[in-house]
Amino acid sequence: MNRNLPDLILLLALIALVSLGSLMLVSASSVLGLDLHGDAYYFIKHQIIYGIIPGIIILGLVIMIPYHWWKKAVVPLLVFVLFLLILVFIPSFNMTYGGASRWVHLGFFSVQPAEFAKLSVILYIAALFSNREKTVGVQKALIPFMVVVGLVGLLIMKQPDIGTLVVVTGASVLLYYIAGGKASHVLGFIASGFVIMMILIRLAPYRLARFTTFLHPELDPRGIGYQVHQALLAIGSGGIWGLGFGRSRQKFRYLPEPAGDSIFAIASEELGFLRMIVLLTLYVFIVWRGYQIAKNAPDTFGKLVAAGITSWFFVQAVVHIGANLSILPLTGIPLPLVSYGGSALVITLAGAGILLNISRYSKD
């Protein structure tokens, strides 16, 4: 196959989003960094060292690796990710924050295995379905698809990390449908997910409180509905033009997780509706460009990998923004390429690198 330059327009959009995200992170995390570490720039420094620099290096390397190589590596990669997900529950390795065990401590740095699961599951599903182009073939792969997604989902759910669980399963089911899966199966997956959520609510009543808050955020604005209420207050305060960069009031410890789960609300407060349109346009463009790369990929594996990575970006952005707008139930999940988190940024840039490599072999 002939190699071309990668999609430079997509690359520029990714750079623009990371740059805008870094500026938003500087402001959103300043008060938290000063309170916790005595340094207003602590979080952006940490993000540069453990997220942006290694992420850019990996992005450059992955762009050069022919995407077919990943088809050979899917099983070892998946096994490694499962090992990391299990390591989360071993006391000598795990790190607990906010009642959740989601990080593995490896000497002088830590990683979040659930972030790596997003890419590894997509690559596995793409390899699984790439030799089964007809619908009948796809149905024969249904059992291994359900086993892998179910096993990874169970380990993520046990952490617990419901937001990442939604992203992994949502992107996987969407990719299954793109690969030729039956709509009836997709509806069955959605129904099963609803049943599982009901079970999770029964096991942990705080989830029922969150769901009730989603339906009626005004019922308990100082309790379980506090974060939703404060996020809506921040977004509403921004108005058309915003309060101005660095002038958010909610980041003064009124809104939990201003650098992560709530960064969209903080950015909306400071930048306002019209400027946030730029951010949303970047996401829409990246998703559109990603599906165009999938459409023009030279083979089925390339199509499915590109479609899967794009679906992952799309689902995660929608879940984060929807939760901040109270359109979806509140889940703790980062905004892709914007929120604080080294593991999330590195693995997202790695996925973007694979997407850009596929664009080098585009038929168009």
Q: Say how far apart CA 115 and CA 351 lie, in whole Å.
A: 11
Q: Report the range of poorest mean pLDDT among 93-107, 169-183, 347-361.
A: 93-107
Contacts of 29 (CB under 8 A, 6+ apart): 42, 43, 44, 251, 258, 259, 340
DSSP state at residue 330: -
At residue 111, φ and ψ (nearest 5 deg) are -130, 155
Q: State residue 107's pLDDT score.
A: 67
Domain residue extents for the chain: 8-359
**Each residue's pLDDT tens digit, 254-296:** 888 888 888 999 999 999 999 999 999 999 999 999 999 999 9
**Each residue's pLDDT tens digit, 53-77:** 999 999 999 999 999 999 999 999 9
Contacts of 80 (CB under 8 A, 6+ apart): 120
**Each residue's pLDDT tens digit, 332-353:** 788 999 999 888 999 999 999 9
Q: State residue 145's pLDDT score.
A: 87
- 135 pLDDT tier (thresholds 50, 70, 90): very low
**Each residue's pLDDT tens digit, 72-130:** 999 999 999 999 888 888 877 766 665 556 777 776 667 888 889 999 999 999 998 88
- 224 pLDDT tier (thresholds 50, 70, 90): low
pTM for the whole structure: 0.89
Residues written for the chain: 364
pLDDT higher than 60, residue 32? yes
Q: State residue 101's pLDDT score.
A: 64
Q: How many CB atoms lie within 10 A of CB 99?
A: 7
What mean pLDDT is reported for the chain? Answer: 85
> Considering Cα of 239, then 243, then 248, then 254, what sign does the dihedral take?
negative
Q: State residue 222's pLDDT score.
A: 58
Q: What is the dihedral of CA 360, 7, 24, 320, to 10 degrees?
A: -70
Q: Say how far apart CA 292 and CA 285 lie, in whole Å.
A: 10
| Cβ atoms 273, 258 nearer than 8 A | no
Amino acid at 42: Y
Q: State residue 97's pLDDT score.
A: 61
Q: Say how far apart CA 10 and CA 362 lie, in whole Å.
A: 14
110 versus 149: the higher-pLDDT residue is: 149
